[in-house]
Amino acid sequence: MVLLEMSIVPMGVGESVSAYVAECVDLVDQSGLAYELHAMGTIVEGELPAVLALMQQCLEKMTTHSDRVTCTAKLDFRRGKSGRLKSKVESVEQKLGRKIQKP
């Protein structure tokens, strides 16, 4: 399983890109993969081919709005582990001995 953190933005469409982000988040939501949206991107959990295909879908969706799209992505691969969207945060909270602030 992998965690993919991605931020995909069409360029030259103005200061606010939330309408375009919403289109990508809709694709993520429809994928059925576990995900979390945060202020600077989206983290998706799943098998490598599925998360990469989803990132490609999002990129292609953004090219319908702009000829230039920027994408920042990070992958965290860990064999045999799932549910890490929550467990990684819980591990840090355990070490702190308290819950952390969540949006």
pTM of the shown model: 0.88
pLDDT in tens, 35-90: 999 999 999 999 999 999 999 999 999 999 999 999 999 999 999 888 988 888 88
Residue 8 sits in a domain whose CATH number is 3.30.70.930
Instruction: Identify whether 103 is part of a domain.
Output: no
Tokens of 54: 């989803």
Instruction: Identify whether 101 is part of a domain.
Output: no
The total domain count for the chain is 1
Which of 44, 34, 47 shows the shortest CA–CA distance to 1?
A: 47
Instruction: Tell me which residue range forms the domain holding 13.
Output: 2-96
Is the pLDDT assigned to residue 102 strictly greater than 80? no
Are the beta carbons of 77 and 48 closer than 8 angstroms? yes
Please give the pLDDT value at position 103.
63
Are the beta carbons of 68 and 75 closer than 8 angstroms? no
Instruction: Identify whether 53 is part of a domain.
Output: yes
Instruction: Identify whether 102 is part of a domain.
Output: no
